[in-house]
Amino acid sequence: MSTASDPSGKAVRHWFVTGASGGLGRHLTEHALRHGDRVTATARRAAALDDLRDAYGDRLTVEVLDLGRPTDVDAVIGRTLQAAPVDIVVNNAGYAVVGAAEEMTVEQIREQIEVLLLAPMLITRAFLKPMREQGGGRIIQISSMGGQIGIPTHSSYHAGKWGLEGFTESVGREVSDFNIHLTLIEPGGTRTGFASALRYTTETAPYRDTAVGQTRRLLETVDGNTLTGDPAKIAAVIYDTTRNPHPPLRLALGSDTYHAVHAALTERLAALESQEDLAAAVAH
């Protein structure tokens, strides 16, 4: 990997973090800066990072970026790579639309997939060649336990996260020979403001008294302060993962993630095993 050094000789790594104005993205940005690294942080509101720019000076570069605009993504990445090689990419930006699939508009579905899947795919792809040429790099994909499980009201969100998981697993195998490591981070409920920023579809009568309506009511009453995930601790674990010479492909963070994913995988495995004879029966 191509890292610079500070005056003391310590390696200074360059991070590229999306969605850094708040939540986990901001915690990661601050954690990397506190440990002496350099960060290019993207955000829809640059002013939200003014305090970090004041504190860390030219080690923090802030780029205004709308992930729904691919041409803007290309321009920002171009400027970032021109300034310095990037060692660590964090695809963090995201949000969730809540409602039945039938209630979602085409625009809501399209924007959800663009932000959760298309943008990380394009950003990952843009950094592969420079990382390959510099001898390696790390790409951190912020997924969630929603990348392994499915609940009513989150169909578009799950489509994006499950897609990101499959994309990352495939690309990770493509570039492993180049010392490029991809890791999926799967947090559970975390005190980041994500819950309060949920976007809701217009509710329709047929779904009001179903599992969709019940889940909607539950989410509407969630107090983000009661969630157990500590974003600062998650950021520290992610930072340590980038120092691991053999990082995991998936990293479940939070007891809620561990138990929910364990239950989902156990259920899927049991369903698969029950089909063993049927699977063999279609052979020629």
161 is catalytic: yes
Higher pLDDT, 241 or 197: 241
Predicted pLDDT of residue 8: 52
Q: What is the mean pLDDT of residues 72-77?
A: 91
143 is catalytic: yes
Predicted pLDDT of residue 5: 55
Catalytic residue among 21, 155, 156, 157: 157
Q: What is the mean pLDDT of residues 5-9?
A: 53
pLDDT digits (tens, 9 = 90+) for 238-275: 999 999 999 999 999 999 999 999 999 999 999 999 99
Predicted pLDDT of residue 4: 62
pLDDT digits (tens, 9 = 90+) for 107-148: 999 999 999 999 999 999 999 999 999 999 999 999 999 999
Predicted pLDDT of residue 162: 98
Q: What is the mean pLDDT of residues 91-98?
A: 93
Catalytic residue among 21, 56, 143, 207: 143
Predicted pLDDT of residue 66: 84
Predicted pLDDT of residue 67: 83
And the tokens for 144?
Answer: 């969630």
What percentage of the chain has pLDDT greater than the value 70? Answer: 95
pLDDT digits (tens, 9 = 90+) for 149-186: 999 999 999 999 999 999 999 999 999 999 999 999 99
**pTM here?**
0.92
Query: What whole-number distance in Å separates Cα of residue 201 and Cα of residue 215?
Result: 13
Catalytic residue among 21, 144, 156, 161: 161
Predicted pLDDT of residue 137: 98
And the tokens for 21?
Answer: 């104005």
Q: What is the mean pLDDT of residues 192-197?
A: 77
Domains of the chain, first to last: 10-277 (3.40.50.720)
Q: Mean pLDDT across the chain, nearest whole number?
A: 92
Query: What whole-number distance in Å separates Cα of residue 119 and Cα of residue 122?
Result: 5
207 is catalytic: no
Burial bucket for residue 38 (CB in 10 Å: 0-12, 13-18, 19+): buried
Q: Are strands 4-5 and 11-12 parallel, antiparallel or unpaired?
A: antiparallel
Higher pLDDT, 68 or 13: 13
Task: Give the confidence band of 228 by pLDDT, cuts at 50, 70, 90.
Answer: confident
Task: Please state the separation of Cα 258 from the chain's center in Å.
Answer: 17
Q: Cα dist. 23→136, 214, 224 in Å? A: 28, 27, 12
Task: Give the confidence band of 70 by pLDDT, cuts at 50, 70, 90.
Answer: confident
